[in-house]
A and B are shown apart, each in its own frame.
Chain A
Amino acid sequence: MSVSAQARIRTGVPVRPVRPGQRRARMLAGTSRWLFVTPAVVFVAIFFGYPIVKNVIMSFQDYSTKTFFTGEAPWVGFANYVNVFGSSIFATSLINTGLFTVGSIVMQFAIGLGLALFFKRNFPLSGFLRGLLLLPWLLPIIASSAVWKWMLDQESGALNQFLGLFGIPAVPWLVSPSLALVAVIGVNIWLGIPFNTTILYSGIQAVPEELYEAASLDGATGWKAFWNITWPSIRSVVSVVIVLGVVYTLKVVDLILGLTGGGPANSTQTLATNAYHQSFVNFQFGVGAAVSNVLIVVSFVFAMVYLAITRKAVDE
């Protein structure tokens, strides 16, 4: 049996003996099908495949400023990886990346879901308020981080001035190494709420109203309705929001650079800022590539999870 016949069986089209003219038509159909795929394949190869392969190659090279002019990048084997894993900053960056990601995701999601449920009921100005909520999403991150840096200033920052009204002494938000990470995560949560709210809100909107009506007849309202109707219905949306959130959060650089630059004393250094620093401050592009490859592997795991979830959602 030919491959196309197999395909036809799968698609449910009955197999019939083929006439020559029909075969040519089908071959043309086959090539045109591939023609439709080609642009996507070329696009992915150029804009996703090439940079990743290049990055992997770079991590095994001594890629310095010299390379840009001469094109020479000597092979150094695993030296860059040895350098990265042996650095005292690596462990800190790894832990901080974990704390930053988990902290941001959990809070963004919890607050996002809360707001989405809140906006489910219609009340005056709810549309306007929902629009307003998108604001953090619309601002350039570097602008948000500059404003937050200003607001979190220990002595003249708006936040401490406000807390001062209640007799709370000035909090060293970005100055204390133990608080800086908390402050940075806080700002990132603020940034991520609109995304979570918007996606979850649309998921909740898609739940048919009849389900709630039927449930209320059976006495399921409030929390009961949420756990038995809303939550199961939006489960696939939830997984997508979380997995996408993780991938976005892992690679956050601009926000941290804008707020603390990885400091004080490396207390907010993550894998992403570490990679940036190695490449664009120390000009060690090979080492920077090695760090970012570690990050790529971590993101890749989550991307796979995302693919599995979305495929399942489509199959359902």
Chain B
Amino acid sequence: MKPRSPIQRRTRFGGLLGAVAMMATVPLILTGCSGGGGSSSSGSAKNLTIEDYYQASYDPIYKTCATQVGATVTINHVAGAGLIAKVLQQASSRTLPDVLMLDNPDVQQIAASGALSPLSDYGLSAKGLVPAVEAANTYKGDLYGLQPVTNSIALYYNKKLLSAAGVTPPKTWDELRAAAKKLTTGKTYGFAMSNINTYEGTWQFLPYFWSNGGDEKNIATTGATQALQFDLDLQNDGSMSKSSINWAQADVNNQFIAGKAAMMINGPWQLPLLNAAKGLEFDSVPIPTRAGEATVAPLGGEAFTVPVTKDTAKMKLAGKFVGCLNAEKMQSTIAGVTGNVPTNITAADAWATTHPQVASFVTTVKTARARTGELGPDWPKAATKIYTAVQLALTGKASPEAALQQAQSQNQ
């Protein structure tokens, strides 16, 4: 440590005085803020608060858009599981952020509470985006959220294992079943997916269910029974580990990376991990359907919304900010950071040609279905029924038909 000169000491003292002065002004700033946030809509402060459950890698994107709309941003990353609880708390204490990110199936739930403002107020629409984005983010005729990027799930396969076994990527259920059987050797299962008793399990089962005509309004139908029977067949063949009922999607990915599964259902958010795995050669195709029809997979991704706060000028600015995030060019930038798919159809097509790894997801997303598209805020109950049926059937507690009936009548 260097000896301090008297001058330095004086500046230190000055600094202390300054700090005291700052402390004294804190209450002034606070009252100033609450005053500005109150009745006056002049919007003197141009700072937007953003809340999401992303990583810091998103920060530069926010900053770019902030500069574009002429604002500064305060970014608050929350842990994924805690976001909704926090939003509800903020809704009751009227402390919602200016820009709020929500997982798309939660948008209608929160919109139904009245906490969000319609994006048409800011001249925003879902024009040019994949159709499911509009369905997922519309509640009672108003659009409440926009997703710059989205995702879904597809069938990943281990190139080396498939070529060694002389198997081509399957397109139908029969092909998938046969391929999985052939690829099951020693400690390697032919196929892996998540059948866990959470919404992740429901999300992974939906492509079988929806592609075969299943509907969440009444899950006990022939189409749904066939879908569940197919899931069970894979397990009964020994091609899918019985542990799949305990696996989250991250666990499935670990199995695939470790070479313990030759094929798996998973999303593009796993690409960074998959690419980092040494010696792993993989590719993906849309999830097979019964007779090779187009896959109906669930729409993923998070939406940006503008909560109702007292400051209308700030809400307008937040609307502009959300518009910036969803601009066609910005969507590609965000897709580059996150490995997801742009929601703008033209941007997505361009993205697929330059990024072959996400090509199968681009195909899937175009015909994807929004989970809350049909039931809206009632979706959580249906989602619980669906994973309950899957669990009942895979644990052998009921036949697929009985499992679906039991789950449908379950009063949840």
Contacts and interface: CB of A to CB of B under 8 A. Distances in A.
Interface of A: 64-71, 83, 86-89, 149, 153-155, 172, 174-177, 260-267, 277, 280-283
B410 interface: yes
Contacts of A260: 197, 246
A65 B411 contact: no
A68 B242 contact: no
Interface in B49-98: 85, 88-89, 91-92
Nearest to B197: A263
B243 interface: yes
Interface class of chain B by DSSP: helix
Given A87-B411, A264-B246, A66 B113 contact: yes
Contacts of A87: 410-412
B91 A282 contact: no
Contact of B384 (A70, A71, A177, A282): A282
A154 B243 CA distance: 7
A261 B411 contact: no
Contacts of B242: 154, 172, 175
A264 B197 contact: yes
Interface in B328-346: none
Nearest to B92: A68
Interface class of chain A by DSSP: loop
A153 B243 contact: yes
A264 B245 contact: yes
Contacts of B245: 175, 263-265
A210 B88 CA distance: 62
Interface string B105-134: 000011011110000000000000000000
Max chain A C-beta neighbours (<10 A), residue from B89, B113, B381, B384: B113
Interface of B: 85, 88-89, 91-92, 109-110, 112-115, 196-198, 241-243, 245-246, 377, 380-381, 384, 388, 391-392, 394-395, 397, 406, 409-412
A70 B411 contact: no
A174 B197 CA distance: 12
B197 A261 contact: yes
Contacts of B92: 68-69, 71
Given A65-B109, A263-B196, 10 more contacts: A65-B377, A68-B91, A69-B113, A153-B243, A154-B242, A172-B242, A177-B395, A261-B197, A265-B394, A282-B381
Max chain A C-beta neighbours (<10 A), residue from B89, B91, B409: B91
Contacts of A172: 242-243
A263 B412 contact: no
Nearest to B251: A153
A66 B140 CA distance: 15
A155 B241 contact: yes
Contacts of A262: 197
The 6 nearest A-B residue pairs measured at CB? A263-B197, A265-B391, A66-B113, A69-B113, A69-B91, A68-B88
A95 to B, nearest CB: 15
Given A89-B412, A175-B242, A70 B114 contact: yes
A266 B113 contact: no
Given A65-B110, A87-B410, A87-B411, A175 B246 contact: yes
Max chain A C-beta neighbours (<10 A), residue from B88, B91, B243, B397: B243
B109 A155 contact: no
Nearest to B380: A282
B391 A263 contact: yes
Contacts of A64: 113
A65 B376 CA distance: 13
Max chain A C-beta neighbours (<10 A), residue from B394, B410, B412: B412
Given A176-B395, A263-B245, A264-B395, A89 B113 contact: no
B391 A266 contact: yes
A262 B198 CA distance: 10
Contacts of B395: 175-177, 264-265, 267
Nearest to A90: B411
B337 to A, nearest CB: 29
A265 B397 CA distance: 8
Contacts of B410: 87-89
Contact of B113 (A65, A264, A282): A65
Contacts of A283: 109, 377, 380
Contacts of B377: 65, 283
14 contacts: A65-B110, A65-B112, A66-B114, A67-B113, A68-B113, A69-B115, A70-B113, A86-B411, A175-B243, A175-B245, A265-B245, A265-B394, A265-B397, A282-B380
B158 to A, nearest CB: 18
A241 B243 CA distance: 37
A65 B88 contact: yes
Max chain A C-beta neighbours (<10 A), residue from B92, B112, B245: B245
A62 to B, nearest CB: 13
A171 to B, nearest CB: 12
Contacts of B411: 83, 86-88
Contacts of B241: 154-155
A236 B406 CA distance: 47
